[in-house]
Amino acid sequence: MSDNVRNVIIIGSGCSGLTAALYAARANLKPLVIDGHEPGGQLALTTLVENYPGFPDGIQGPELIDNMRRQAARFGAEYMAGHLVSADLSQRPFKLNFGRQTVLAKTLIIASGASARWLGLPSEKALIGHGVSSCATCDGFFFKDKPIAVIGGGDSAMEEALFLTRFATQVTLIHRREHFRASKIMLDRARQHEKIEFLPNTVVEEVYDVGKQEVTALKLRNVKTNRVWDFPTSAMFLGIGHEPNAKMFAGQLEMDQDGYLKTHDFVFTKVPGVFACGDVQDRRYRQAITAAGSGCAAAMEVEKFLEIG
């Protein structure tokens, strides 16, 4: 192979991608990490992280990501801004098109993550990490003994709401439609919980208060009556799902019905030399620590794959 063929390219610079970069770099594979359209992944949008081992007082999400970047770079990992436009995985070396250039790779680690679905409100975006969240497991603890709102009507919303009852004084499920699309068992569990209340036929039009850098209330509108009112709450959790960043591999790698990459034996895809890790293939846990573990596994498998040839 030509000298300009990379040993390994890692798509994504979140927890899984940077852990893969660290392990690949320490194996002297000189990995190239592509930042992607969300550099740093979900952690880059998080404030205080208290459930990542090794930080008894917690650590800011962006700081944790920066530490990982510098740690991998110390051993030879390289970074490139940009995102993958298309890929040809039909033969090795794999051809990866990044728009302005095409890069060849002997192996590929896909750690492109899954992006949370948001409502698209400017105030919502400004308050991410300050009372607006897409991860109850990550941030629920910060709202102990406070009222919380959850947006959504599917199983994800029910799961978030039920989990948040451990901390909140009250959880209000806000859904734009009259009927919930959640499975009967999940909906029944939520309806039977004394802390959960339902607001159907309702949409969020504004999140207060950007000026205070905290959520104090939501501006709501009933879609049937057009009644508008302010609803006091301390947090808004999005339970409308995630969008796996894997569309560029459609038709080449196996995906489930929602677009998550299918893997076997933890991180293997159906294409030899292509591995997937983190939230792009994990729709169940979606935690920084599980993403890091799968990134480690992917890099170790790359090392074994290249040894065999």
* Catalytic site positions: 135, 138-139
Q: Are 132 and 158 in contact (CB under 8 A)?
A: no
Rounded Cα distance between 38 and 100, Å, is 19
Alpha helical stretches, state H, the chain: 15-26, 61-74, 122-126, 136-139, 155-164, 184-192, 288-308
Q: How many angstroms separate the CA atoms of 153 and 174, rounded?
A: 8
Go through 231-259 and write b for each residue having 16 or more CB atoms within 10 A of its CB, e for each that does not: bebbbbbbbbbbebbbebbeebbebeeeb
Asked if 248 contacts 84 with a C-beta cutoff of 8 angstroms, the reply is yes
Q: At CB < 8 A and 24+ separation, what contacts does 181-186 make?
A: 181/153, 181/154, 182/153, 182/154, 182/155, 182/157, 182/158, 183/155, 186/155, 186/158, 186/159
113, 241, 242, 237: which is closest to 163 by C-alpha? 237
Bridge partners (DSSP) listed for residue 59: 49
Residue 145, both tokens:
């003994």
In eight-state DSSP terms, residue 117 is P
Mode of pairing for the β-strands spanning 236-238 and 147-151: parallel
- SS3 state of residue 1: coil
User: Which amino acid type is present at position 19?
Assistant: T
